Amino acid sequence: MDQHQHSQSGVSFFCLWLITHLLTWTVGGLLCIPVTAILSQSVLPEPHGKVDDIIGGLIIIVVCLTLTVGMGGIIQWFSLRTRLHLSWHWIAISLGSTILGILLGLSVGFFLRFPIGITITATLGATLTTQEVANMTALMVWAFSFATIGVILGWGQHLVLRKHVESPNVWIWASMFGLTFGFIAVVAVGKVAYWSVLRMTAADWALIGGVGGGTYSLFTGFALVWLFRTPRHTSTLEEAETYAAR
């Protein structure tokens, strides 16, 4: 394939990757509506205060994130199969890595909350109110949590990609930055719209999915286009094993 054809192919794949993620994450956002309703009515107690509201919102975020990223892994498999002989292992690893990443991400956020809060208070406490310090601490804690999720998800998926491309570690970085900045973009939009996780409309949930998925797909899409430029050359035996695993 010459340079011009490769460039056209890369642009076509990037557009496919971007559109499918926008649609999938938007649908995932809309599916959070019944999830929120079910959890709010049958699992979560009626919020009576700020703590109850935070816990309820946290549970909903975890469930919705698992659902959306899991759906994204399935769509990724279909999209990547247009360029790679990819086995179904991608789906299983994506789902498993998402769950593991969320558990580790929440753990990282929990243990970093105190030192981050202390650091912000010591450096910016004189210019910020108590509420602003709390908000900035929460933002950084969640950013670290999403970065951890991105690293674990990217690491799991790179185990599959390394059979097809020469620099699979790039995917880990793309996954980390994609989810981290996807979260930051959602927070920025939500801040303008004054969102509350427990009181959002269908349009809010769809926008969350679209903004998060769009940001994530920009980072990962560019990474994949670059990775496709240096495919891993496999032996005949390796190709036979790849096809047998499909």
128: domain range? 3-245
Tally of domains in the chain: 1
For residues 111 and 116, give the distance between their C-alpha atoms in angstroms, rounded to a whole number.
Answer: 9
As a whole number of angstroms, the distance between CA 20 and CA 75 comes to 7
Least confident of 1-5, 99-103, 223-227: 1-5
Confidence (pLDDT) at 91: 87
Per-residue pLDDT of 53-92, as tens digits, reads: 666 667 777 787 788 888 888 888 888 888 888 878 888 8
In this predicted structure, what is the pLDDT of residue 50? Answer: 57
pLDDT, tens digit, 9 for 90 and up, residues 118-160: 888 888 877 878 878 887 888 888 889 899 999 999 999 999 9
Angle between helices 89-124 and 50-80 (to 10 degrees): 140
The predicted pLDDT at position 235 comes to 41
Q: What is the pLDDT of residue 4?
A: 46
Q: Is the pLDDT of residue 9 over 80?
A: no
Structure confidence by residue, pLDDT tens digits, 157-170: 999 999 888 889 99
51 phi, psi to nearest 5 deg: -65, -45
Please check whether residue 214 is in contact with residue 17, taking contact to mean a CB–CB distance below 8 angstroms: no
